[in-house]
Structure 1
Amino acid sequence: MVFATQAHAQQRKQLSNKNASRQAKALYAYLQNVYGKKMLSGQMTSNWGFDELKYIEDSTGKLPAIRGLDFIDSAKNNNEVKYAKQWWRKGGIPTLMWHWGAPTTGGGYENSKKEIDIDKIFEEGTPEHKAFWKEMDEKAVLLKKLQRANVPVLWRPFHELNGNWFWWGKQGPERFKRLWRTMYNYYVHDKGLNNLIWVLCFMDKPDPAWYPGHEYVDIAGPDTYKEAESRIGMFNGTKAIVGDVMPIAFHECGIPPDPQQSFDTGAKWLWFMEWHTNFLQKVPTTHLNYVYHHDLVVTLDEVPDIVKDYGPKPRSVFERIWWFLSGQ
């Protein structure tokens, strides 16, 4: 489906990366057009021990528009790249996060909660500096594989930044912002990763002190697993920081929001992403069906041909030929 562009969508900013790929530009244009009118469904997949996508399809007859993936295990990260490619080719939208073990501590979730001296990352010759840049390069290689395959990515690093449990958030907003800007500049300007849409994820209560700036962010929003947390409060809290220049998403949740209630109260999330395994299994199937069949929710079967419908058009016959030969 192609939505008619509304005035507020026309006023929104372009991607922060002016050299963004055709696919990234198309995806962002689609997201901008959906924002405020529909909410995309999203599901984090664990890819171990439980098939979240099959569970949703068996429960609702539908599949989510967005599939969540995680660079949490170096031994399995190539599989995450493969799943991202498959999901894009299936007509869906991949989002990637990174439970990054604190540099020098090893990988995995528990190591992502360990604390290191972040300042040492920026001191040449330190173990922290060497480990940080080694892992940055490793992930850049993986993301480059997706770029070569013409797959755009909703890239969500350093998530739950103000939650104070991951290493990147344990030493305050200034060090976090330095990490974010360092990654952005290295991946965009040095590595030429033009397929990334940069997604910033607050926890519970968005805090402007942690915001790295419009020039480094394309989509922002919170996540929470607290049912008592005000959804409209989180939405408005994010909007107070980013203004009306980018979409706002609900990055992680323990139970999908009620789409009607969300829109009625003004919390017009661009998407929601339900967490994996037992979080999904605890959601009542009646609620899951209600959400996935709601008119305000976009499921996989309703996602258009994004590049065809929203991609920039070639300005010349030579550009058309180049796009054709390069697979774009």
Structure 2
Amino acid sequence: MTIKSVTACSLMLISLFSCKAQTPVKNQLVDSEATLETQNLYKNLFQLRSKGFLFGHQDALAYGVNWKYEEGRSDVKDVTGDYPALYGWDLGGTEDKAVNDIDGVPFDKMKKWMREIYDRGGVNTLSWHMKNPYTGKSAWDTTPHSFTSILPGGSHHKLYCEWLDNAVTFFKSLKGSDGKAIPILYRPFHELTGNWFWWCQNNCTPEEYITLWRFTVDYFKKNNIHNLIYVYNTSMVKTREAYLRYYPGDDYVDVLSFDNYLYNNPVKDNSYVEDNLNLIQIMNAIGNEQHKLIALAETGYETIPYNRYWTKTVVNSLGNNPVSFVLVWRNHGWQEQEKKMHYYAPFKGHPNEKDFVDFYNLPQTLFQNEITQLKLYNP
């Protein structure tokens, strides 16, 4: 029996007993009509906070370094023998009812993989690199007035509602083998405190952002979408005030999160660790007050050139805080346009894969095998 197997068995037993012993946590979802499976996932994520965090990877089943669309494959699995616990996907492309998402993944395949993930007890999360509704260009087009154009009464509000209808259709198509709606950690308008997307803070006021967020949540609920857990997401900020400036309100947010990537050699520059710890502690304080989960929703160190990135940099950047999940970005591989490799999880043969295996074997890192046994969609 492997270290991870022993840990998984112990974790399952601890969880089963602790659920009975602990005082119930106030963990009401934004959607009071959320499906039972969605409610169970949310409550169980609260229970898991003292045990560890779900490790996630974007597009984990779709492709990896030097492979694409191979059944049952994942770079993470190639290295550890286990899948991630959390799997990231993107809705970019649903605006035009496209066949493929923004990264070329066929939506039909995506839905198949999301069903497989749910069936084996894994967790799915969705972002949406929505193209600019005002100009028709990419999500990175920050033309002024793009955001205000889709607010109620705006020139492109009707178009935005049509795009939401496409998302409604997609969400309703997500069914497990049991016929039930697949719960989704949904992270709209992500990295809002940056300046690179049309929905970022440089293109809207807090009041406008809050209005659109609330309209969007209400629109999905009105259209009988009850399998979403809503994730508020900033880029790196340094203060509580900056983090909450665009916050839509406790009645509209289930999870507090942020995105932050490592760019500098962590041996020479410890700012990534220090910044992450600072913001995570800020979120944890807010989360404790408002009974919200916290997460590092997107991160990574491109090509992972440091041999202690996982066991030292990542672990130290989280500290002992109750982070629910950490997701690293996709393993695209060679980028012809930029003439460089682009990946954030190791693959078989990577020079620093041993550190990732050591990371995998830590008790606080939760991968597929552990959470399958924990049955996160059950009471």
TM-score bracket, shorter-length normalisation: 0.7 to 0.9
Deviation of residue 173 (structure 1)? 2.0
Please give the secondary structure, in 1, of the residue aligned with 2:164. helix
1:103 pairs with one of 114, 130, 133 = 133
2:281 maps to a residue whose letter is: N
Does 2:29 match 1:5? no
**Taking structure 2 as the reference length, what is the TM-score of the superposition?**
0.73
CA distance 1:304–1:289, shift in 2 (3 Å): same
Give the structure 2 partner of residue 280 of structure 1. Answer: 344
8 A Cα contact 1:260 1:296, kept in partner = no
Deviation of residue 248 (structure 1)? 0.5
2:329 maps to a residue whose letter is: W
For 1:42 and 1:10, how far apart are their aligned partners in 2?
27
CA deviation vs aligned residue, 1:79-135 (integer Å, no higher than 9, x gap) = 333322221113211111100111143365545x55544233235472x22321111
Within 5 Å, give how 1:167-316 maps onto structure 2. 167-169=198-200, 170-188=203-221, 190-205=222-237, 207-226=243-262, 228-229=271-272, 230-244=275-289, 245-255=291-301, 258=311, 260-261=315-316, 265-277=319-331, 278-280=342-344, 284-304=352-372, 311-312=378-379
CA distance 1:48–1:114, shift in 2 (3 Å): farther
For 1:167 and 1:239, how far apart are their aligned partners in 2?
28
CA distance 1:19–1:115, shift in 2 (3 Å): same
Give the structure 2 partner of residue 36 of structure 1. Answer: 50
Structure 1 runs (4+) deviating above 6 angstroms are: 6-9
Within 5 Å, give how 1:41-190 maps onto structure 2. 41-45=55-59, 47=62, 50=65, 54-73=74-93, 74-77=98-101, 78-79=107-108, 80-106=110-136, 108-111=138-141, 113-122=142-151, 124=153, 126=155, 128-146=156-174, 149-169=180-200, 170-188=203-221, 190=222
8 A Cα contact 1:12 1:32, kept in partner = no
Deviation of residue 140 (structure 1)? 0.9
For 2:31 and 2:124, how far apart are their aligned partners in 1?
19
8 A Cα contact 2:151 2:212, kept in partner = no
CA deviation vs aligned residue, 1:232-271 (integer Å, no higher than 9, x gap) = 11102223444441110110111476465356x3333111
CA distance 1:7–1:217, shift in 2 (3 Å): farther
For 1:310 and 1:87, how far apart are their aligned partners in 2?
12
CA RMSD, 1 decimal: 2.7
For 2:169 and 2:90, how far apart are their aligned partners in 1?
15
Gaps of 5+ in 2: 1-11, 102-106, 264-270, 302-308, 332-341
8 A Cα contact 2:134 2:146, kept in partner = no
CA distance 1:14–1:232, shift in 2 (3 Å): same
CA distance 1:269–1:281, shift in 2 (3 Å): closer
Gaps of 5+ in 1: 313-328
Deviation of residue 152 (structure 1)? 0.7
8 A Cα contact 1:103 1:116, kept in partner = no
CA distance 1:13–1:125, shift in 2 (3 Å): closer
8 A Cα contact 2:140 2:198, kept in partner = no
Give the structure 1 partner of residue 4 of structure 2. Answer: none
